[in-house]
Structure 1
Amino acid sequence: MKSIYILTLLSFFVIVINLSSCDQSIDNLYTEKSRIQFKYFKEDTVTQGQATVYRRTYFDRTTLSFGMSDDEVQEDTAKIVVEFLGDVSNKDRTYRVRINPDSTTAKEGVHYKPFSSTQTFRAGRRKDTLSIVVLRKDLGTSFINPVDYRLTLDMEATEDFNLGMKDGLYTHLYMNNYLVKPKWWDGVGSLMFYHPKKWKILISFNEKWANKEKEPFNFNNGGREYFEALRNYLEREPTFDDETGARIYIDRLVEQNN
């Protein structure tokens, strides 16, 4: 009986010591420098039956496209979100990014303006943005052979920050000058084949058509009047593909005789 009592007492002390060690490790988790990274996932709430769950989506890129921009717009700013693991600081800190030459196809001064490898993470924030000015002039406009230029960035440690999670230590910036087909297009049979000029005409009818993720009038056949208006417009107003010179109709491209 006495030996059982002693074993129980020893077990109690072991548990107390382990708990103390765990508490200490948690308390000291961010006593070192904060850990910097590119934002690489987002969380959304999704309703499943009567329950609401969180869904995490991972990504490793930002895309800046001039496809919807007016012709006079010759530059735009891409904003890449940067975050850290740790405590918010009451003073500005610096982080550093490096262009990865093996994965980069964009050219500095041609497709984007030069930017400093050393950036400021402003005080009082958990997230900040790395701003890169993208230049339109030399981005291809081809619909038939679309080209994306890529700028790949790697995060580097500094005096203010250690490195964060592995998947957040790099990111890609894609740049283009064409209108990528929206995700919902192929699911709308009345629109027939995709052409960026057809989509732009839809947007001119109603700006809600600019939604890239989902069709804005997909209930009660609400888009029917727009599809018919698009068909009539293309019949009435000659509209041509800039590369081939073919005339665009709702259901076909027609080559023009010289």
Structure 2
Amino acid sequence: MKKIAYILVMCLGVWCAGCSENGDDGYYDDFYRVYFPVDSLNYAFGDKPVEMAKYTVKVPVQILGEPARADMKVNVKVDLASTTATAEAYTAVPSEITIPKDSIVGYVPVEIIRENVMDERDTVFRVVLQLEASPDFALGVKEGLRATVTFSNYLAEPEWWVGLKDVFWGPYQKEKYQKMMEIWGGPITLDDYVYKMVKLINVAKEMYEYFQEHPEYGMEFPPYIFWPYE
């Protein structure tokens, strides 16, 4: 009987020790702790509508354990040494965010400004975020203390574009293709070009009329266009 009691006491001790593990030092210390549950998020402007000037990537920050007992503040900074995006490419990231009461997740907003993101091939920019301790939170696992937001603005010229560029849509400019995809409902393939030519030309006409109404985009077209379909 004593042997059984001894085993139960030992098991209880092991269980208590296991329950106390937390943080880098391995034990609970009555602090709320936070981390990034996702270490990388990507956004591509390339195929988005012409009118989309900005986009906000919401980077989640999560509590280890119980929900927040009240609205609680998390400190965050941009690691400028690791960030490749220029300051003009994104809105200043707040140094403090809130995890609401009874929640385990808050978000760091990273607003990207499209006109300041170059559209060169294979050019991807990044903003690197770093969590910092605050009066409300200690830091969680070290692997979750940094998160990277990557973004680009490149849109490749479709292979069919050259076919009728001197007749209808002019030289390739990504804004034209973005508007055509918006009207079409998605990317336009070579098969679409071959088998859905009437629809494609009508979409090109609608795109052309849009940019005639918005000359501020500076789109170039052939001097004389005869649209064969109404």
Same-fold call, TM cutoff 0.5: yes
Is the 1:205–1:226 Cα contact (8 Å) retained in structure 2? no
Aligned residues: 190
Higher RCO (Cα < 8 Å, 6 or more apart) = 2
Deviation at 1:159, TM superposition (A): 2.4
Q: Does 2:139 match 1:163?
A: yes
Q: Does 2:22 match 1:24?
A: no
Is the 1:38–1:81 Cα contact (8 Å) retained in structure 2? yes
Deviation at 1:61, TM superposition (A): 1.4
Query: 2-side partners of 1:16 and 1:237: how far apart?
Result: 78
Partner of 2:93: 115
Partner of 2:224: none
Deviation at 1:39, TM superposition (A): 1.6
Partner of 1:150: 126
Query: 2-side partners of 1:115 and 1:33: how far apart?
Result: 25
Q: Identify the range of structure 1 (61-70 vs 128-137) with the bigger mean alpha-carbon deviation.
A: 61-70
What CA deviation, in whole Å up to 9, does each residue of 1:185-220 have, x standing for no partner? xxxxxx9789977787566333xx47xxxxxxxxxx
The aligned amino acid for 1:93 is: M
Q: Answer 1 or 2: which has greater helix percent.
A: 2
Q: Does 2:205 match 1:229?
A: no
| SS of structure 2 residue aligned to 1:137 | helix
Structure 1 length-normalised TM: 0.59
Aligned counterpart for 1:71 among listed residues 9, 31, 50 = 50
Flag structure 2 segments of 5+ consecutive residues without an equivalent. Answer: 22-27, 162-171, 208-219, 221-230
| Pair 225,149 (structure 1): closer, same or farther in 2 beyond 3 Å | closer
Partner of 2:62: 83
Is the 2:83–2:126 Cα contact (8 Å) retained in structure 1? yes
Structure 2 length-normalised TM: 0.65
| Pair 202,177 (structure 1): closer, same or farther in 2 beyond 3 Å | closer
Deviation at 1:179, TM superposition (A): 3.6
Deviation at 1:139, TM superposition (A): 0.8
| SS of structure 2 residue aligned to 1:116 | coil
Aligned counterpart for 1:34 among listed residues 15, 32, 36 = 32
Query: 1-side partners of 2:197 and 2:117: how far apart?
Result: 29
Partner of 2:41: 62
Partner of 1:137: 115
Flag structure 1 segments of 5+ consecutive residues without an equivalent. Answer: 1-7, 41-59, 182-190, 211-223, 240-244, 246-258
Identity of aligned residues (%): 22
Query: 1-side partners of 2:156 and 2:62: how far apart?
Result: 29
The aligned amino acid for 1:229 is: K
- Cα RMSD (Å) of the superposition? 3.9
Deviation at 1:129, TM superposition (A): 1.3
Deviation at 1:73, TM superposition (A): 2.8
Q: Answer 1 or 2: which has greater strand percent.
A: 1
Query: 2-side partners of 1:147 and 1:101: how far apart?
Result: 18
What CA deviation, in whole Å up to 9, does each residue of 1:141-195 have, x standing for no partner? 23xx3322111111222222222223321111112222479xxxxxxxxx97899
Q: Does 2:13 match 1:15?
A: no
Query: 1-side partners of 2:76 and 2:149: how far apart?
Result: 13
Is the 2:100–2:106 Cα contact (8 Å) retained in structure 1? yes
Query: 2-side partners of 1:105 and 1:94: how far apart?
Result: 27
